Structure 1
Amino acid sequence: MSEVDQMPGHLIRRFQQIAVAIFHAEVAKTGVDLTPVQYAAMAKIAEIDGVDQATLAGLIAYDRATITGVVDRLVQKGYIERVVSTRDRRARELHLTDTGCDIFAKVSPAVLQAQKSMLAGLDGAEQSELLRLMAKAIAAGNEQSRAPLKTD
């Protein structure tokens, strides 16, 4: 291996390329057009019904400008809706629509299969260790990100 092939940034970028390709291939089998970040947004909205857009951005580690486009596309597809918050008229609560709930249920098994496929070259202990180490490295560098993950 050359020096660049051993650099963590290069390896992470390659793994991201592979992960996105696998995600798209698995989700395409369902006939649904959905990106990984759109799925993450829908998953978090399903988990926290009525979450506001700014909080959603922090919960999935995306900047506010990017999350606006993601939410706009999900609204256009009819998967989520924005509702003016009863607590803060400036905020918009996000809810899955009935169609969004159906789509989320339809693609979730494909997304789970994609996660398994991404780690197929590793045995169970190696998969657990890789995920543990990735989470540790991400936690250590979280505040250096342009869009840090907000856990509270």
Structure 2
Amino acid sequence: MKKKLDLSAMPGHLARRVQQIAVALFAQELAELNLTPVQYSSLQTVCEAPGIDQKTLATTIGYDTSTIGGVIDRLEARGLVVRNLSPADKRVRLVTPTAQGQALLDAATPRMLRCRERLLEPLSKTDRKEFIRLMKALVDANAELSNIPSSESA
């Protein structure tokens, strides 16, 4: 007889469940702003690095470089960002936030902080720091499996 695997002890299963919870909290807190988690990450990154190119944006947020264009399309259609051709390379498109994009990010950030607090609320302050540290260690150690470089190589 085969031994049954306990899903509740499987890190991949638990990571997916934590992601479900994080997305649900995001939806609750930011629903009226009409932003997805990837759009939020993109907008935050563009606001922090105005003029970032699309490939670097995708890599920075750990998103697929072939589909980041659609995310930017939706942000641009809402007037949150603008794209311009790079003067150095006409194949490269640079993304810059608009005033409306910065205002939306300013409105979204406190809600994102509430999401973080709500997600981590069941943990002690010490456990919260350790949880984040362990997640970063896993992401960094497995960076070659994702679209984002480890913080050590960045």
TM-score range, shorter chain: over 0.9
Structure 1 position 70, deviation (Å):
0.8
CA distance change for structure 1 residues 150 and 55 in 2, over 3 Å: closer, same or farther?
farther
Structure 1 position 143, deviation (Å):
0.4
CA distance change for structure 1 residues 98 and 150 in 2, over 3 Å: closer, same or farther?
farther
Rounded Cα–Cα distance in structure 1 between residues aligned with 2:24 and 2:6: 25
**1:47-70 deviations in whole A, cap 9, x for unaligned?**
111000011111111111221111
TM-score by length of 2: 0.91
CA distance change for structure 1 residues 114 and 106 in 2, over 3 Å: closer, same or farther?
same
Aligned partners of 2:80 and 2:97 also within 8 Å: yes
TM-score by length of 1: 0.92
Amino acid at match of 1:25: Q
Paired residue for 1:4? Answer: 7
More relative contact order in 1 or in 2 (CA 8 Å, sep 6+)?
Answer: 1
Asked if residue 33 in structure 1 is aligned to residue 34 in structure 2, the reply is yes
Paired residue for 1:92? Answer: 93
Paired residue for 1:128? Answer: 129
Structure 1 position 149, deviation (Å):
3.3
Rounded Cα–Cα distance in structure 2 between residues aligned with 1:97 and 1:91: 19
Rounded Cα–Cα distance in structure 1 between residues aligned with 2:141 and 2:150: 13
Report the number of matched residues: 148
**1:10-66 deviations in whole A, cap 9, x for unaligned?**
0000000000000110112xx210011101001111111100001111111111122
Aligned partners of 1:53 and 1:91 also within 8 Å: yes
Q: 1:24 aligns with which of 21, 24, 27?
A: 27
Aligned partners of 1:59 and 1:150 also within 8 Å: no
Amino acid at match of 1:108: T
Structure 1 position 150, deviation (Å):
6.5
Rounded Cα–Cα distance in structure 1 between residues aligned with 2:41 and 2:116: 13
**1:57-114 deviations in whole A, cap 9, x for unaligned?**
1111111122111111111111111011122221111011111111111111101111
* % same residue: 39
**Runs of 4+ in structure 1 over 6 Å off:** none
Structure 1's unaligned 5+ residue stretches are none
Radius of gyration: which is bigger? Answer: 2
Aligned partners of 1:81 and 1:96 also within 8 Å: yes
CA distance change for structure 1 residues 68 and 46 in 2, over 3 Å: closer, same or farther?
same
Structure 1 position 148, deviation (Å):
3.0
Pick which of 6-15 and 66-75 moved more. 66-75
